[in-house]
Amino acid sequence: MKKLIVVSAVAVLAIASPALAFQCPKLVKQINDNAGNRFDATAQQARVDAVSAAQLHAQGKHAESEKTAKGALAKLGVK
């Protein structure tokens, strides 16, 4: 029974981790879409954060990438 639970947990993590990795590019796109044609300091910083999040994603640091992107979206006022 314990083996079944452990195997199930490992399987769920193996499936969920790659799925979460695909959220980073979506968040970066959302930042760029919301910053749009804005030229204020907040939008400029959000664009910088989007580049940083994309770089973190490329390095495989998906949790950090997501945190950076969500912070930028919060600064833009996106929930």
**Which tokens belong to 33?**
């879409």
Closest CA to 66 of 76, 58, 57, 75: 57
Helices (H) and strands (E) in the chain — how many of each?
A: 4, 0
Domain ranges of the chain: 22-76
- So what's the pLDDT on residue 19? 47
- So what's the pLDDT on residue 16? 47
**Tens-digit pLDDT profile for residues 21-75:** 578 999 999 999 999 889 999 999 999 999 999 999 999 999 999 999 999 999 9
pTM of the prediction?
Answer: 0.71
- So what's the pLDDT on residue 47? 96
Confidence tier at 9 by pLDDT (50, 70, 90): low
**For residues 54 and 72, what is the distance between their CA atoms, to the nearest angstrom?**
12
- So what's the pLDDT on residue 33? 95
